[in-house]
Structure 1
């Protein structure tokens, strides 16, 4: 406020105060003190201050929202606690809870007793939170393979445009920036290294502890105290698997629910740590805090262990608490939604709400008014993954209606556990709810054309396929309008397949395969089951069974890109490159932007020696900016094969510039340095690759060869050991390990490694080495006949390898 405006405001208040004082004296016959100058000035000043204070006090409660609108410098902190169901929080009536931070926040702020999420899945729910729109509008309907489009305007973008610092800090890969959820954040902490996780671990298992997330958030909050901030902190602790610290776990019963509650208590501790830090320097007094769950957890109710499959209250009812300097302590029992958070925050800040927002500000409810909001929730998980029906639900007052092949209606006032479906006995109410749901879905759906398919990182796509998950696009078959199975009738099959996936992750492949076959015997049209069967057989190194499973998936759904890609990859793994090439070309016919198929095709061409063809395709991919670091690396490998080392170096350095931890880039640079005779520089590149990925067996192998030549046999043994540990089928690695052990004087170890390597199909040009090592070992052990036999075998294999090499050179010259 400018000085002149402040003076005018004070004078206006002074004038009103003098009139009030005069009226007060006349009405109550108050004596007027002697009119001396000093007395008059002191009395006037005191009375003006008193009257202004009384006037402000008289309207204090009614003006709290007006002050909030004027104060555009309040901070905003949103904390989302993943998988937190409302009825497992102390302030929501759960006696077993240990949630003092949540409960204290609820006691001083507004607790919304009936809040609903838009979807029982992390990414869709957070997309609704950040845009204030339902999934039909933002079109994010699953984790992985769906993206929040750039055309969506997020809360972070809105407040950042008003001068706010914006920071997001997430604990799970399903909220990684690649899915579009980071829009508007100046600082976004995700930094997930997929290389640290097994490839068959699902995306939702890639996570970090809340303590690490909060530490990063606090670090960012302390970097600048001069500007207001909007911080979003995501905690993943209540999400399965439930593995709380032992010191907290021991405070709860040794049951699944006890473990879940202990995870909630762990998240609560991190919330308290964050709030205490802001309170320590006084910033909490100027911060509006919003804490909510993104969705709940079934915990066995309705047959579902976790979430995503159903839309009952166990997974769609969430806690929502809002507290801050301008908000009263209150419990609101009216229905509210996750989409209402964004407009509420913006109204508190006095910022206009974007027109696209479908939620409503909840401040009228805080003032005691009514809004009559209707909650809309959905899950397309059963349809996308298994071909069964999607579920859509509406919550209006006491009634919860679920649109399914067999309709469901629950009176949550008399049946909070939703165990009695009254749709048949109350058809009139059911019809009303069904019509209301249909109209709400139509009103909130996007009218714009769907966005073009977007590529998924190759390593992410592999994880999406690992457990039979949907890939980078949804098959047209999943979008067909036709009669589909009711999820509540399929829950046993769903659980069976979840158990099979767990078997696969934990290495019980035969048990997992048996469970998937049982599911297919009950429902032979589950495309994802065939994909799981193919993936598990591939892990079990049963190429024939793997190919058959993928073929059956494609027979059911000829346009399924994931099935087409998986079949092509299986052919390639089995050495059938012509069939693989046809398969990858089929994938590109379905989706010309599919980066995985383009990548695999170039790899096939390079294996055939068609380097010019591969180079042209790789250059096009780089120009299209599709997974640029991966294609730059592959282009560098192509140049290495063509012995164009300067171009290879430029391409690989560009890849690392775009992505500092690009897989294989340092390894390939090591090959370039090796080819130039720069041994020390090559060793440094291999070490860099190993630092990025400790299981990079080829980097270990090449570094071991350098160390062996330089006479460091013990160090060479260590790296060759790591190479065969990371890849137990690496026959050539075993033979070099045998040579290094021989150089180190370990005859028994050398014999064992050479014998193992010879049995594991080493490269033809390395086979002679195995025979010569064995000949040397046997000679030193005094076994002359065995030594002579191995030496002769080595000479034969060496001659054969030279002949094969000469033929290849002749063919290449032609």
Structure 2
């Protein structure tokens, strides 16, 4: 720098030129030379503060930007001050600075954009929405603002509004993979699966190793019951990010549906290790281990799931079922009742509670729950068998309803040995010559002397709960 350029105005012009050219070190050096002669130079203080902010020193940046504002209040400097304060986690002061900036210049879009991004952190979603809309009115072609607006709307479960924001972001910035991925998520939330898949695949075409998009696509394929495809995509997500807990969890669910329970257990174990405080993973692993007969380990996991989330109906159902399986009805009953309180349409909990109450000979309570289970799942043979077993157990003398229930179960599932066997048993109480009993025995080649119990849900039913 030549001596004849030592005038503050010339030096500041040179500093700005260096800054715009990306030479921050030289720009800062010139600003310090200016401030050595003119400590109150607003432009040099502001520019030096911006450089310090970009270099990761928000404390020094704050000092210089405040010195600039003391001389010349302006919206741009207040906006930069807010960023320095935000990086120090001083959100109250950051918000105040942005509001001063907007008061100074209501048309300064950057201040409104910054305030829109800040207010959700302050819990002011209504204020944030107003600022997003004001900022986008000033700069309607800002793809990033449309994107972040969509993200905020998604957090409020306003998926239709979020979809419109993401569509605009993608239209403005077609090569932005994150925007296409978020658009896919919005389509998925609205159950527009074909469009969601298209958006996810577009994101992956733009960035093939995009773990989040791979996970989202894999989850969509799982929800669409395209399990083989889902498995491939989820494994690809885990190749990119081996610690991606969501991908690992969904892979576990996928493998479970493919009947590969041992691999599913390993995927769930990995998920639990990655997210030890996630009740869903604890429940899923516990449910599969219970099905495999590893009751002690399963019980610990299911108790942990309930501890982590006392309102988790599926975990209460699975824990209650396990306690019932291990002959602890007094411990099982509260969990099954809690599951029904939390999820009144929980058929597995109702079905298992029916059998528990029947086994302890509380037949009137069992009948009430059995009728509730039948109302929840009227097309299930097991619902009819459960109620019929209770009515037979009551030994009230009139077995006509129970016999009809067994026959309805057989009509729904002609191959149900349990329904045939229990019908045979019930017929022995009302048959005059045994012929009708014999006719029922012949089709299934089975004879029983007592009802077949059905105290626990099948492996398939537990798997459904595990995936809840």
Normalised by the size of structure 1, how large is the TM-score? 0.34
Q: Which residue pairs with 2:395 in the alignment? A: none
Task: Please tell me whether residue 772 in structure 1 is matched to residue 351 in structure 2.
Answer: yes
Task: Please tell me whether residue 394 in structure 1 is matched to residue 49 in structure 2.
Answer: no
Cα drift, residue 703 of structure 1: 1.7
Structure 1, unaligned runs of 5 or more: 1-132, 140-337, 340-357, 359-373, 378-392, 410-417, 425-429, 435-481, 502-514, 538-544, 803-814
CA contact (8 A) 2:40 2:68 kept: no
Q: Which residue pairs with 1:732 in the alignment? A: 314
1:557 alignment partner, SS class: helix
Cα drift, residue 406 of structure 1: 11
CA contact (8 A) 2:354 2:370 kept: yes
Query: CA 1:617 to 1:488, structure 2 compared with 1: closer, same or farther past 3 Å?
Result: closer
Per-residue CA deviations over 1:320-343 (Å, capped at 9, x if unaligned) read xxxxxxxxxxxxxxxxxx95xxxx
Task: Please tell me whether residue 666 in structure 1 is matched to residue 257 in structure 2.
Answer: no
Cα drift, residue 710 of structure 1: 1.7
Task: Please tell me whether residue 795 in structure 1 is matched to residue 386 in structure 2.
Answer: no
Q: How does 1:569-718 map to 2 (within 5 A)?
A: 569=151, 571-572=153-154, 575-607=157-189, 610-625=192-207, 628-718=210-300
Query: CA 1:484 to 1:619, structure 2 compared with 1: closer, same or farther past 3 Å?
Result: same
Query: CA 1:563 to 1:722, structure 2 compared with 1: closer, same or farther past 3 Å?
Result: farther
Cα drift, residue 796 of structure 1: 1.5
Query: CA 1:616 to 1:742, structure 2 compared with 1: closer, same or farther past 3 Å?
Result: same
1:664 alignment partner, SS class: helix
Query: CA 1:556 to 1:579, structure 2 compared with 1: closer, same or farther past 3 Å?
Result: closer
* C-alpha distance in structure 2 between counterparts of 1:403 and 1:785, whole Å: 88
* C-alpha distance in structure 2 between counterparts of 1:496 and 1:528, whole Å: 13
The equivalent position to 1:553 in structure 2, one of 131, 134, 138, is 131
Cα drift, residue 484 of structure 1: 0.4
Q: Which residue pairs with 1:51 in the alignment? A: none
CA contact (8 A) 1:497 1:516 kept: no
Per-residue CA deviations over 1:141-166 (Å, capped at 9, x if unaligned) read xxxxxxxxxxxxxxxxxxxxxxxxxx
Per-residue CA deviations over 1:4-41 (Å, capped at 9, x if unaligned) read xxxxxxxxxxxxxxxxxxxxxxxxxxxxxxxxxxxxxx
CA contact (8 A) 1:633 1:665 kept: yes
Cα drift, residue 675 of structure 1: 2.4
Q: Which has the higher strand share?
A: 1
* C-alpha distance in structure 1 between counterparts of 2:245 and 2:86, whole Å: 35
Q: How does 1:56-205 map to 2 (within 5 A)?
A: 136-138=20-22
Cα drift, residue 684 of structure 1: 1.1
* C-alpha distance in structure 2 between counterparts of 1:549 and 1:735, whole Å: 42
CA contact (8 A) 1:750 1:773 kept: no
* C-alpha distance in structure 2 between counterparts of 1:649 and 1:688, whole Å: 16
Structure 2, unaligned runs of 5 or more: 1-16, 48-62, 103-110, 382-468
CA contact (8 A) 1:405 1:485 kept: no
Cα drift, residue 562 of structure 1: 6.2
Query: CA 1:567 to 1:734, structure 2 compared with 1: closer, same or farther past 3 Å?
Result: farther
Q: How does 1:242-391 map to 2 (within 5 A)?
A: 339=25, 375-376=28-29
Query: CA 1:772 to 1:529, structure 2 compared with 1: closer, same or farther past 3 Å?
Result: farther
Cα drift, residue 685 of structure 1: 1.6
* C-alpha distance in structure 2 between counterparts of 1:617 and 1:550, whole Å: 27
CA contact (8 A) 1:595 1:627 kept: no
1:792 alignment partner, SS class: helix
Q: How does 1:434-473 map to 2 (within 5 A)?
A: none
CA contact (8 A) 1:500 1:516 kept: yes
Q: How does 1:475-624 map to 2 (within 5 A)?
A: 483-484=74-75, 486-487=77-78, 498=89, 528-535=114-121, 537=123, 546=125, 548-558=126-136, 559=140, 564-565=146-147, 567-569=149-151, 571-572=153-154, 575-607=157-189, 610-624=192-206
Query: CA 1:587 to 1:674, structure 2 compared with 1: closer, same or farther past 3 Å?
Result: same
* C-alpha distance in structure 1 between counterparts of 2:22 and 2:172, whole Å: 24
2:281 alignment partner, SS class: helix
| Number of residue-to-residue matches in the alignment | 336
1:694 alignment partner, SS class: coil
Query: CA 1:619 to 1:408, structure 2 compared with 1: closer, same or farther past 3 Å?
Result: closer
2:32 alignment partner, SS class: strand
CA contact (8 A) 2:46 2:77 kept: no
Cα drift, residue 557 of structure 1: 0.9
* C-alpha distance in structure 2 between counterparts of 1:523 and 1:777, whole Å: 67
Query: CA 1:713 to 1:527, structure 2 compared with 1: closer, same or farther past 3 Å?
Result: same
Cα drift, residue 552 of structure 1: 1.1
Query: CA 1:562 to 1:748, structure 2 compared with 1: closer, same or farther past 3 Å?
Result: farther
CA contact (8 A) 1:772 1:790 kept: yes
Cα drift, residue 680 of structure 1: 0.8
Query: CA 1:683 to 1:581, structure 2 compared with 1: closer, same or farther past 3 Å?
Result: same
CA contact (8 A) 1:395 1:401 kept: no
